[in-house]
Amino acid sequence: MIRKRFLSAVFVLIALVGPVLAFAGDDVVETGRLLAILLDAGRGAVAANQPLINDANKGDKGFTPDVFAKQLAEKFKARANVDLGNLKGSGVPELAQKLLPELVEAAKQTVANNQDTINKAGVAYKGFTPAHFGTQTASLFSAKSKIYMKQTTTDELLRNPKNKADAFESGMMKKFGESGYPRQGDKIGSETVGGDVRVMLPLFYGKGCLGCHGGPKGETDVSGYKKEGAKEGDLGGAVSVKLPAK
């Protein structure tokens, strides 16, 4: 009898605490997912303005941090269904409410830091692409927030050594590269490793990527790197985030 009561008390406790614990972990994963999508939405906003940025006949492009931030918010809303202008009422985890604005600030800072480059007249390719935006923004965000974030890829595709994958990232890239892995829908991979929650968002090459990452393999692209010979839908890399599991 006592044993039975004790057991039911334990069950009640598990029933009460279990979801709270699960929820706490889910919150961290969800925060990582949103941060990764936000970085990629910023890459998309830069990509959408690449013809403008690369216009050699134009000086001032009007692609200011504020203009960029508005487009970033639109792209993020479309993909994550979260309104950056109203995070409190959005139902996203508290951790995300704190970190998403910090990533927006880092992204705007990157666009601000590159204004001279962007507004240069007389040159088309200026070395400011979604990848440059992503690498610089992730590094600014990490320095300020102490949250690890980077763009990464497998060694065969690696251009910037700063983006080299660690063991966890290489393993997840293998999974992302499997033919059955969904190419659409921002399906993340995540795992708790030691005291960290690791979250990765795969980046698949679209048509717009192939001018640099497509064929013919080995030919030099406009950015001065050797093309990888990739095809549309191939895995290009991932955004990787690491948050304390708490």
Residues near ligand HEC (CB under 6 A): 47, 129-132, 135, 151, 153, 157-160, 163, 203, 205-206, 208-209, 211-213, 221-223, 225, 236-237
Q: CB-wise, 32 or 44, nearer to ligand HEC?
A: 44
Closer to ligand HEC by Cβ: residue 93 or 150: 150
Query: Looking at beta carbons only, is 30 or 40 nearer to ligand HEC?
Result: 40
Minimum distance from CB of 158 to ligand HEC (Å)? 5
Cβ-in-10-Å burial (0-12, 13-18, 19+) of 8 comes to exposed
8 A C-beta contact, residue 122 and residue 64:
no
Contacts of 219 (CB under 8 A, 6+ apart): 226, 227
Q: Return d(Cα 144, Cα 195) in angstroms, integer.
A: 21
Shortest separation between residue 207's beta carbon and ligand HEC, angstroms: 9
Residue 227, C-beta contacts closer than 8 angstroms, at least 6 positions apart = 212, 213, 214, 215, 216, 217, 218, 219, 220, 221
Spatial contact of 236 and 153, defined as CB atoms under 8 Å apart: yes
Q: Which lies closer to ligand HEC via its Cβ, residue 93 or residue 130?
A: 130
**Shortest Cβ distance from residue 112 to ligand HEC (Å)?**
18
Cα–Cα distance, 140 to 112 (Å, whole number):
12
Least Å from the CB of residue 232 to ligand HEC: 10
CB atoms within 10 A of CB 216: 7
Query: Considering the complex, what minimum distance in angstroms separates the CB of residue 170 from ligand HEC?
Result: 13
Query: CB of 110: closest distance to ligand HEC in angstroms?
Result: 12
Closer residue to ligand HEC, CB minimum distance, 54 or 145: 54
Task: Give the CA angle between residues 123, 127, 128 to the nearest 5°.
Answer: 105
- N-to-C CA span, the chain: 38
Closest residue to ligand HEC, based on beta-carbon distance: 237
Contact between 29 and 199 under an 8 Å Cβ cutoff? The reply is yes
Give me the least distance between CB of 68 and ligand HEC, in Å please: 17
Comparing CB distances to ligand HEC, the nearer of 92 and 209 is: 209
Q: Which is nearer to ligand HEC, 28 or 173 (CB)?
A: 173
